[in-house]
Chain A
Amino acid sequence: MRATLYPLIAASLFIVAGCATQEQKPGEGAPVEGAGPGGKPRAVETKPVPRVETGKPSGSPFAALKDPGSILSKRTVYFDFDKFEVKDEYRPLVEAHAKFLRENPTAKMLIQGNADERGSREYNVGLGQRRSDSVKKMLTLLGARESQIEAVSLGEEKPACSEHNEECWAKNRRDDMLYNGEY
């Protein structure tokens, strides 16, 4: 929701600034000495530099990706043990990113799927791939273009938490979504 508001705010600020310049009437400045002899004194016009307030996000929609107040700054989807479907609690997050990708065709996303450390490293690459494919599928069903998204797996190689217990493993069964420029 918020992401769509920012362009509107920016646009309205621009309009306000435009009106301000028009309200400045010519010839209001004080007369200046030294006008040419014999002629009518010419009015010297000065225009103040219009001041534009950018607001928080600078015009670029990509700023929302870094804005802690935006859902788009959240990039991680967690999965249950041996599970690959996106849980309901992560639907709004995936929907927000799908909308962003839909509205910003130049945006590209890398989804890195991860698995916990138990078992074979290569089989865990497979489990992580299933998780990243799962989020990619949901994003494309919601309108993101297939060409915008690359789903890959880091297997068990990049744990977010390195202890050997279920609490930690739950943090490692995840997808991280990265945008171009971030990987």
Chain B
Amino acid sequence: MMRLLLLAVFLWLPAAQAQLSIEITGAGAQRIPIAIVPFAGESALPPGISSIVRTDLERSGFFRGLELPPISPEPTEATSVNYAEWRSRLADALLVGSVQPRPDGRFEVRFRLHDVVKQQALGGIAYTLGREQVRATAHRISDFVYEKLTGEKGVFSTRIAYVVKRGNRYELQIADYDGANAETALASFEPIISPVWSPDGKRVAYVSFENKKPVVYIHSLLDGKRRVLANFKGSNSAPAWAPDGNRLAVVLSREGGSQLFLINADGSGVRRLASSTAIDTEPRFSPDGQWIYFTSDRGGSPQIYRMSASGGEPERITFTGSYNVSPRISPDGKTLAYIARNDNKFQVALLDLASRQVQILTDSDRDESPSFAPNGRMIIFATVIGERGILSAVSADGRVKQRLSATAGDVREPAWGPFIE
């Protein structure tokens, strides 16, 4: 895979924030050539709306931003477009826009997207924003462009959760999908693992070892309040939200072993879901809520199984290899990402549940904790490169690859958040 570009997201935050940078290795085969004209007046809002949009779209692997000569005067959303001229520049799509200061100190951004091939405008939106919303606004414009041109929702406005370990300090951080605007939700001197987003994106459940044992917490990102979800005798781990957000599956050892339980989101109504003498762990609900996929070594080696969310006899899902763990079902319910061990390499694998075809998506060897983007296009995961824990992302077709690494410390346990309305 060719290394296309190295793009550092320079973001300085107060306190000891990790600076994450993205490196893109590989891109989709069919990329839409798009001309993104610098927005008139955008120098008032550094680093500029158009450059963020271009970076977003190229990072997705579905777009190629065209190099443009200086154009004077800059066309804006109000300018009539000479489609033939843009076609001669080999553009399939054109994005133009403008930034205007408002009397109240805020700004107004307008844009228009054009289909150059069909010679028609695809619409646009006007936003008002403060200086601190430049990136958020650009991401919304990227989402608009992505959805209009690919027919799928974009994930540029989504967020990710992950854990940074520096020395003996652990931080649960929440950042934009590209690692920018990282904020620390929880800092601890004991490990934090297994963060999972609630379906509404307002809360994160995770496992913290601050009490010298694993305890499951639910943490509100709106006010920073957190409470214990499960702290029974023994270990409490591996939380997974049901799609309705009212219940979670968890793994408890209170009755011996590591076993699957259901629990209401307020901590009430604990009931055992399955009973085995094996390790049953890493539950995940299917998007329709009907199934729970999980890891179990009931057959002698850890493999992925599924069972009805109301209980019942489990059915084995993975058969090739002696170590298949960490099942994550895609948002459309059709494929299963997991970690497979092959020749002592731990790699992200993707199983087509209908055809039973398995594809290994990565060429790294210590992959962990895969997590689907909410549109199913990308899978973020943790891996180790040069003895450092980093986050990596791969497209579900294996073509687009990205790395996010912090300037210091190990980054692990990524969880991609849901779409936010």
The stretch among A47-55, A58-66, A124-132 that forms the contact with chain B is A124-132
Q: Are A121 and B193 in contact (CB under 8 A)?
A: yes
At the interface, yes or no: A45 with Cβ under 8 Å from chain B?
no
A122 cross-chain contacts in B, Cβ below 8 A: 193-194, 237-238, 251, 281-282, 295, 326
Q: Are A110 and B235 in contact (CB under 8 A)?
A: no
Task: With both chains docked as a complex, state the minimum distance between the C-beta of A82 and any C-beta of chain B, in angstroms.
Answer: 10
Given A125-B281, A183-B212, CB of A152 within 8 Å of CB of B234: yes
Task: With both chains docked as a complex, state the minimum distance between the C-beta of A172 and any C-beta of chain B, in angstroms.
Answer: 14
At the interface, yes or no: B169 with Cβ under 8 Å from chain A?
no
CB nearest to A130 among chain B residues: B279
At the interface, yes or no: B38 with Cβ under 8 Å from chain A?
no
At the interface, yes or no: A150 with Cβ under 8 Å from chain B?
yes
The stretch among A16-24, A30-38, A70-78, A153-161 that forms the contact with chain B is A153-161
Task: With both chains docked as a complex, state the minimum distance between the C-beta of A111 and any C-beta of chain B, in angstroms.
Answer: 10
CB nearest to A154 among chain B residues: B209
At the interface, yes or no: A81 with Cβ under 8 Å from chain B?
no
Given A112-B213, A120-B368, CB of A152 within 8 Å of CB of B253: yes
At the interface, yes or no: B341 with Cβ under 8 Å from chain A?
yes
Q: Are A150 and B234 in contact (CB under 8 A)?
A: yes
At the interface, yes or no: A123 with Cβ under 8 Å from chain B?
yes
One of A120, A126, A158 near B326 (C-beta < 8 A): A120
One of B193, B295, B302 near A155 (C-beta < 8 A): B193
CA distance A151 to B258 in the complex (A): 11
B212 cross-chain contacts in A, Cβ below 8 A: 110, 112, 152, 178, 183
B302 cross-chain contacts in A, Cβ below 8 A: 119-120, 123
Tally of A-B Cβ pairs under 8 angstroms: 101
Task: With both chains docked as a complex, state the minimum distance between the C-beta of B413 and any C-beta of chain A, in angstroms.
Answer: 7
Q: Which 8 A-B pairs have the closest CB atoms?
A: A126-B279, A152-B213, A157-B191, A126-B258, A120-B325, A122-B238, A183-B212, A153-B235
- Which B residues are within 8 Å of any A CB, using their own CB? 191, 193-194, 207, 209, 212-214, 233-235, 237-238, 251, 253, 256-258, 279-282, 295, 297, 302, 323, 325-326, 339, 341, 346, 368-369, 387, 413
Q: Are B253 and A129 in contact (CB under 8 A)?
A: yes
Q: Are B214 and A154 in contact (CB under 8 A)?
A: yes
- Which A residues are within 8 Å of any B CB, using their own CB? 110, 112, 118-123, 125-130, 133, 150-155, 157-158, 164, 178, 183
A125 cross-chain contacts in B, Cβ below 8 A: 207, 214, 235, 237-238, 251, 258, 281
CB nearest to A157 among chain B residues: B191
Given A122-B194, A123-B325, CB of A133 within 8 Å of CB of B257: yes
A126 cross-chain contacts in B, Cβ below 8 A: 251, 258, 279-281, 297
A183 cross-chain contacts in B, Cβ below 8 A: 212
Q: Are B194 and A150 in contact (CB under 8 A)?
A: no
Q: Are B234 and A129 in contact (CB under 8 A)?
A: yes
Q: Are A110 and B213 in contact (CB under 8 A)?
A: yes
Q: Are A123 and B281 in contact (CB under 8 A)?
A: yes
Task: With both chains docked as a complex, state the minimum distance between the C-beta of A114 and any C-beta of chain B, in angstroms.
Answer: 12
12 pairs, CB–CB < 8 Å, chain A vs chain B? A122-B282, A123-B279, A123-B295, A123-B297, A125-B235, A126-B281, A133-B256, A152-B213, A154-B214, A155-B237, A157-B191, A183-B212
A158 cross-chain contacts in B, Cβ below 8 A: 191, 209
B280 cross-chain contacts in A, Cβ below 8 A: 126
CA distance A178 to B213 in the complex (A): 12
16 more A-B contacts (CB under 8 A) besides A123-B295, A128-B235, A152-B235? A112-B213, A120-B282, A120-B369, A121-B193, A121-B368, A122-B282, A125-B238, A126-B280, A129-B235, A129-B257, A150-B234, A153-B253, A155-B193, A155-B214, A157-B191, A178-B212
CB nearest to B283 among chain A residues: A122
Given A125-B238, A157-B191, A157-B193, CB of A119 within 8 Å of CB of B253: no
CA distance A133 to B282 in the complex (A): 19
CA distance A123 to B294 in the complex (A): 10
Given A112-B212, A158-B191, CB of A133 within 8 Å of CB of B251: no
Q: Are B339 and A120 in contact (CB under 8 A)?
A: yes
Task: With both chains docked as a complex, state the minimum distance between the C-beta of A158 and any C-beta of chain B, in angstroms.
Answer: 7
Task: With both chains docked as a complex, state the minimum distance between the C-beta of B49 and any C-beta of chain A, in angstroms.
Answer: 39
Q: Are B258 and A129 in contact (CB under 8 A)?
A: yes
CA distance A110 to B413 in the complex (A): 27
Task: With both chains docked as a complex, state the minimum distance between the C-beta of B216 and any C-beta of chain A, in angstroms.
Answer: 12
